[in-house]
Structure 1
Amino acid sequence: METKKEVWLRGESDPYLAAELQPAADALLQAGEELEALLADFPDDRLWERPAGVAAVGFHLKHIAGVLDRLLSYAEEKMLSPEQLEYLKSEAIDQGHTAQDLLQEVRVGIQQTIRRYRKLDPSLLTALRQVGRAGLPSTVIGLCFHAAEHTMRHTGQLLVTVKVLQYL
């Protein structure tokens, strides 16, 4: 059986994306592929279990989708909308979604994030941006890379949680 190469090793590049953002897009696509494979048959009744008190699989999925939207809003020099703040409050709450419903939110979030990356002016990648109510400093490229890094971090945490749940 041939192993599929990781996204960043496939030599594919998005012609509509600033070259500086290709690694971030690759990381998002890789996370998406890993989540798809991992959760293909994940049982919905285990979505909100928290073995040893760790975050639930459902939280990770909702958080990935939400944080991508929030970080790109900051990169686009926007404050968070009331809807984004409401979504943030709901990330740890079971609202009856299936694993596939939440995985679809992540799919859409990744694709929307890459579309938003494409619209960023490459000459503004080092422009300063304010993050959150405190107005903490970052740059456009910093926010884009943090979106990808944060997604991969939660993907890794989710992977471990799924593996633990498989053995319980």
Structure 2
Amino acid sequence: MKEKELPEYWLRGKIEGTPDLLQPIVHSLLQSKMELKKYMIDFPDNLLWEKPSGRASVGFHLQHLSGLLDRLFTYVEAENLSEGQLTYLKREGVPDSDITSESLIEEFGHKIEQVLRKLESIPVSSLTEFRGVGRKQLPSSVIGLLFHAAEHTQRHIGQLLVTVSVLKSKS
């Protein structure tokens, strides 16, 4: 059965290797990866940094998708962000003619695969443990961070869809 004929990931059953309690997170991230590829078909790179009505560019959304997962999973692992991660954060959405849609989509795909491997190794017993987030070390549980990673990713996929649609209709 082709992927477009399959139901959404949350209706496909268990993803082997992932703890049962984390299945919704995995389903959401896999759905995001699939939708991103679909929405970005034939998107022209010359529109990557356009900001229709002053809203975030497609390039920003693509960079932010990878960056947010990287940062949130760093907090899950009870670590602080590195200088490289902080630099990446500052550069999200900054136009760069050397960056292509394809390279950003590929980067997001790699990041999804990386976090899926991490999800396989998260002990269920750690889900209610608290972690410090950001410079202020605000409290969030591991499950809270994981849920936020999934829902925030979906939010940006939705915003990206709208921006892509608007820009394609004008070109």
TM-score bracket, normalised by the shorter chain, equals over 0.9
CA distance in 1, matches of 2:17, 2:82: 27
CA distance in 2, matches of 1:166, 1:67: 26
Uncovered stretches (5+) of structure 1, i.e. residues with no partner: none
Tell me, yes or no, if the aligned pair for 2:64 and 2:92 is still in contact at 8 Å. Answer: yes
TM-score (norm 2): 0.94
CA distance in 1, matches of 2:169, 2:45: 16
Residue 103 of structure 1 corresponds to which residue in structure 2?
105
Q: 2:143 aligns with which of 134, 141, 144?
A: 141
Uncovered stretches (5+) of structure 2, i.e. residues with no partner: none
What number of residue pairs does the alignment pair up? 167
CA distance in 2, matches of 1:9, 1:18: 17
Tell me, yes or no, if the aligned pair for 2:43 and 2:168 is still in contact at 8 Å. Answer: no
CA distance in 1, matches of 2:11, 2:88: 34
Deviation (angstroms), 1:75 = 0.6
Cα RMSD for the two superposed structures: 1.3
- In the TM superposition, what whole-angstrom CA distance separates every residue of 1:2-28 from its partner, at most 9, and x where no partner exists? 7431011112x2332111111011000
Equivalent pairs: percent with the same residue?
49
Tell me, yes or no, if the aligned pair for 2:129 and 2:141 is still in contact at 8 Å. Answer: yes
CA distance in 2, matches of 1:165, 1:92: 16
- In the TM superposition, what whole-angstrom CA distance separates every residue of 1:93-152 from its partner, at most 9, and x where no partner exists? 122211000001110111111111112111111101110001111001110110010000
TM-score (norm 1): 0.95
